[in-house]
Amino acid sequence: MDEKLSDEIKFLQIRITELEKSESRHRISDELLRKTELQQKAILNNIPDIAWLKNRDSRYIAVNEPFARTCGFKPEEIIDKTDFEIWPRELAEKYRTDDQDVVKSGKRHSYEELLIHKSGKSQWVETIKTPIYNDKGEVIGTTGIARDITERKKYEERLREARAEFEIRVKVRTVELSRVNEDLSRHQNQLKELIEERTNELEKELALRKEAEGDYLRLKKQIEFILDATKTGLDIIDSDLNLLFVDSEWAKVYGDYRGKKCYEYFMGKSVECDNCGVRKALKLKKTVVTEERLIFEGNRPIQVITMPYQSEDGKWLAAEVNVDISERKKIEGELVKYRDYLEDIIKERTGELLEEISEHKEARHRIATLAENLSSSNKRLKKLSLTDSHTGLYNHRYLGEVIEAEFHRARRYAHNLP
């Protein structure tokens, strides 16, 4: 009997020891959970979403203000309560089942569920429940965050409605497209013929374009050859005197023209030239011809023909054709010298002619005087030949001349002699 009692006492002592250890473990777990509660309270109160903390028995040990407002309680009133004391039974059973799944699996679970407030208001929430572990890796509770997804649910519902409406429209559109396809199939052969015809036209246009490009390249080479052979330069300038193009031969002499003004590039000036031909041509919308000297080429003289024109985008530009006139200037210089020489000769010859004219005037005066004297002498001689020197009367010679004259007059007019 004593032995049996002794065994029971030993068993009780062992059981008491186990209970003390279990109680110690629970006390440690509760302390850890309380520490976790204190640590997470500050976090929970800063979370705008619904958040809470439960122990292993699904009793609340910490909640934030959004959670309390949803339940219709104060945060301190929810502590140590279970879901059955807060939510309707059906909803509380679901929450208890979810908590147990998290505790047993030791994994985080996510749910979408309809939450009914104490006021009767409902909202959709996305709930994430996560297990809490102690230092030994044992699950001692759960924490949860519920985010309001009511608007998202409404949007998804509208999206479903829109999708359904879209499907209806797609079906209607499919029928319409099938009809269109039938119409298109009717005209398919005609389209093929049109495509073939257009393809042939495009091939011809392409051939003509290639031919035109070849002509353009040949013409460009010819122009470059002519410009080079005649020392003629070509450039294009905009209304701000910026160079837009310079032919290759000039680029060899003056370098890269991009980003430069014409007076900087050709004349080495910092300001535009006086009586700028480009300005004048763009203002008058007429071709302007000027002469310039290229400083960088030993003052080589050129004639600048500035022609204004309008580009495709409506901007007015000026094309300059610069012709070398060195030979012309040489010829003009020789002509000036020859003209001066001719003027000297003309002056000398003019003096000689003036002297000759003076002599001729004197000779003509003498001749006129002699002619007048001769006429007077002839009159006196004629009078002497027709009169008698002694009597002063007309003689027979005068009578013969008068009769002959009257005879011819009577004969001409068919008259009788008087």
Q: What was the pLDDT predicted at 316?
A: 92
Residues contacting residue 63 through CB under 8 Å, at least 6 positions apart: 44, 51, 52, 53, 75, 78, 79
| 234 residue type, one letter | L
Q: Is residue 186 over pLDDT 60?
A: yes
**Cβ–Cβ < 8 Å for 323, 246:** no
Q: What was the pLDDT predicted at 1?
A: 45
Q: What is the pLDDT of residues 198-209, one digit of tens each?
A: 778 878 877 887
Distances (CA, A) of 359 to 314, 328, 356, 372: 75, 45, 5, 20
Considering the chain, what is the average pLDDT of its residues? Answer: 78
Q: Residue range 136-143: average pLDDT?
A: 86
273: DSSP letter: P
Q: Residue range 12-22: average pLDDT?
A: 59
Q: What was the pLDDT predicted at 68?
A: 85
Q: What is the pLDDT of residues 297-330, one digit of tens each?
A: 888 888 888 989 888 888 899 888 888 887 877 8
Q: Residue range 375-403: average pLDDT?
A: 67
Q: Is residue 39 over pLDDT 70?
A: no
Instruction: Report percent pLDDT > 90 for the chain.
Output: 3
Q: Is residue 105 over pLDDT 80?
A: yes
Pairing state between β 109-116 and 122-133: antiparallel
> Tokens for 56?
């292993």
Q: Residue range 69-94: average pLDDT?
A: 87
> Comparing 30 with 406, which gets the higher pLDDT?
406
> Tokens for 361?
């005037």
Q: Please give the model's pTM, rounded to 2 decimal places.
A: 0.34
Q: What was the pLDDT predicted at 170?
A: 80
- For 165: left if phi > 0, alpha if psi spans -120 to 50, otherwise beta; the answer is alpha
Helical (H) or strand (E) element with 244: strand 243-246
Q: Is residue 136 over pLDDT 70?
A: yes
CA proximity to 297, closest of 256, 329, 267: 267
**Cβ–Cβ < 8 Å for 86, 71:** yes
Q: What is the pLDDT of residues 46-57, one digit of tens each?
A: 777 888 888 888
Distance CA 296, CA 267 (A): 7
Q: Is residue 185 over pLDDT 80?
A: no
Strand partners, 130: 143
Q: What was the pLDDT predicted at 389?
A: 63
Q: What was the pLDDT predicted at 167?
A: 82
Q: What is the pLDDT of residues 353-388, one digit of tens each?
A: 777 777 777 777 777 787 777 777 777 766 666 666
Half-sphere exposure for 130 (CA within 13 Å, toward CB): 9
Distance CA 62, CA 227 (A): 95
Q: What is the pLDDT of residues 200-256, one digit of tens each?
A: 887 887 788 787 777 656 755 655 555 555 556 788 899 999 998 888 877 888 889
Residues contacting residue 79 through CB under 8 Å, at least 6 positions apart: 60, 61, 62, 63
Q: What was the pLDDT predicted at 240?
A: 92
Torsion, Cα 61 65 68 69, to 10 degrees, reads -170
